[in-house]
Amino acid sequence: MEIIIQPDGDAAALMVARVIAREIRRKPDLVLGLATGRTMESVYGHLVRMHQEKALSFASCRTFNLDEYIGIPANHPGSYRHYMNLHLFSKIDINLKNTYLPNGMAPDLAAECHHYEEAIKERGGIDLQLLGIGHDGHIGFNEPLSSLRSRTREKALTLSTLQANSAMFDNNIEKVPRRAITMGVGSILDSKRAIMLVTGASKASILAKATEGPITSMVTGSALQLHPRCTVITDEAAAINLEGIEYYRWIFANEPEWQTF
């Protein structure tokens, strides 16, 4: 794992977008794992701008999102399909047929989870997985105590997650679906490269736990310590609790890959 600290949230999001753009230019048919949440909105904003101004093309990309709520249709404003269409897919040249999210309305949810894993495998696995982190340390919707070897499956959401995500449901926690389909921690660890974006002071404590704390199913983001190639991109506000902060700055300043960014 490497940790890169940028001055603020927008600089961190821009760096994530640049990593994605570089990977797409290297491999136009990239299999991209996507995430939702407020943190990701500025990453998608930068990707849209790069598409418009720098001819970044998504025409051959395939995307797989981490998760989707169960029991709300794709056109519901709170669904992750709606989020992705709104913030990214409708503004770039991607073929919608190549954008995959779990179907939370599937009559047989277990079969849907199985097919999702198979679809990822058939396309050669995820080349680059984008991740955020929840306040309880979840990646995707892998809530505390999720098996660190879990695969795509149904999960019940914690009260704190329902609260954090209620903005898209009229700020009414009662309206937030209580269950979701999520890629598992094991599925995420299978990605060839992972980029986690964590910004803002409210994430400082969970960022330190996930990166410097013990690997534990109570903080599923900590499993990324096992990932063969994971980069955490953060901002000064979220980095304040990191014990190794000066060490991370030193590594970054001396790592050839980042000198061209």
Catalytic residues: 67, 136, 138, 143
CA of 85: how far to CAs of 62, 70, 78, 261, in Å? 14, 18, 12, 29
Q: Return the range that interacts with ligand GLP (CB under 6 A); candidates 29-37, 83-91, 107-115, 223-231.
A: 29-37
Q: How many helices (H) and strands (E) would you count in the chain?
A: 10, 10
Based on CB atoms, which residue is closest to ligand GLP, 29 or 170? Answer: 170
- Does 35 bind ligand GLP (CB under 6 A)? Our answer is yes
Q: Among residues 39, 63, 98, 146, which is the contact residue for ligand GLP, using CB under 6 A?
A: 39
Q: What spatial distance separates the first Cα and last Cα of the chain, rounded to whole Å? A: 18
Residues 218, 236: Cα–Cα separation, whole Å: 25
- CB environment 154-177: b (16+ within 10 A), e (fewer): bbebbeebbebbbebbeeeeeebb
Based on CB atoms, which residue is closest to ligand GLP, 35 or 230? Answer: 35
Q: Return the range that interacts with ligand GLP (CB under 6 A); candidates 36-44, 89-97, 145-153, 228-236.
A: 36-44
125-154 residues near ligand GLP, rule: CB under 6 A:
132-134, 140-141
Residues 65, 42: Cα–Cα separation, whole Å: 17
Q: By the 8 A CB rule, do 34 and 130 touch? A: yes
Name the minimum Å distance from CB 128 to ligand GLP.
15
Neighbour tally for 235: CB within 10 Å: 24
Q: Among residues 9, 15, 67, 234, which is the contact residue for ligand GLP, using CB under 6 A?
A: 67
Q: Write the DSSP symbol of residue 65.
A: E
- CB environment 43-69: b (16+ within 10 A), e (fewer): bbbbbbebbeeeebebeebbbbbbbbb
- Does 58 bind ligand GLP (CB under 6 A)? Our answer is no
Q: Among residues 9, 17, 36, 153, which is the contact residue for ligand GLP, using CB under 6 A?
A: 36
Name the minimum Å distance from CB 172 to ligand GLP.
17
Based on CB atoms, which residue is closest to ligand GLP, 165 or 234? Answer: 165
152 three-state secondary structure: coil
- Does 121 bind ligand GLP (CB under 6 A)? Our answer is no
- Does 186 bind ligand GLP (CB under 6 A)? Our answer is no
Q: By CB under 6 A, name the binding residues for ligand GLP.
A: 35-39, 66-67, 132-134, 140-141, 161, 165
